[in-house]
Amino acid sequence: MDDFVLARVVHVLGVVLWIGGVAFVTLVLLPALRRQLQAGQNVENPAVLFERLEGRFAWQARLTTLLTGASGLYMLYVLDAWDRYGDPGQWWLWAMTVIWLIFTLMLFVFEPLFLHRWFEARARDKPASTMALIQRLHWVLLTASLITVAGAVAGSHGG
């Protein structure tokens, strides 16, 4: 297996673990927590419970974001394909880069700096609307990520 193929394998494994986790949080974990909240079964701040349950995934997401970004940049370097950023037909390359940047900022900058505290404080006052907001944000990120994956697979294979 040459370096480029290895980078592609790492890239796709990273994407599977990362976006798969986002799908689980969006489609399974958040709806379950919101149902619990609606049924009045919550004994603690739902945002705190969410952070605790999602805590392990946050580390998985940080690691896989790094692996996906590094392997993607390595592939671009080997292909010497920087000029593809100027080709509108290869929009998916921009989509990958922008999605990567959004998640990187969220996981490494915004969340540790203020987002974590802001959500926790807001959830204490307005638990239901905060959980709805968190779920909406996850839906937007998941939808954009899936469109990106579809575009990247089709685009990388001549679609």
Site residues (vs ligand HEM, CB under 6 A)? 8, 11-12, 15, 19, 68-69, 72-73, 75-76, 96-97, 99-100, 145, 148-149, 152-153, 156
CB of 148 to ligand HEM, least distance (A): 4
CB of 78 to ligand HEM, least distance (A): 8
CA–CA dist 39, 18 (Å, integer) = 31
Residue type, 40: G
Cβ 145 vs Cβ 100: under 8 Å: no
Report residue 13 CA to chain centroid gap.
14
Cβ 22 vs Cβ 54: under 8 Å: no
Give the closest residue to 19 by CA, choosing from 74, 73, 65. 65
CB of 73 to ligand HEM, least distance (A): 5
Give the closest residue to 103 by CA, choosing from 6, 8, 15, 10. 15
Given the complex with ligand HEM, which of 99 and 131 has the nearer CB atom? 99
Given the complex with ligand HEM, which of 127 and 155 has the nearer CB atom? 155
CB of 83 to ligand HEM, least distance (A): 12
Residue 128 CB-half CA count within 13 A: 7
Given the complex with ligand HEM, which of 22 and 49 has the nearer CB atom? 22
Cβ 143 vs Cβ 22: under 8 Å: no
CB of 58 to ligand HEM, least distance (A): 17
Given the complex with ligand HEM, which of 134 and 152 has the nearer CB atom? 152
Count other C-beta atoms under 10 Å from residue 127's C-beta.
Answer: 17
Given the complex with ligand HEM, which of 49 and 58 has the nearer CB atom? 58
Chain residue whose CB lies nearest ligand HEM? 72
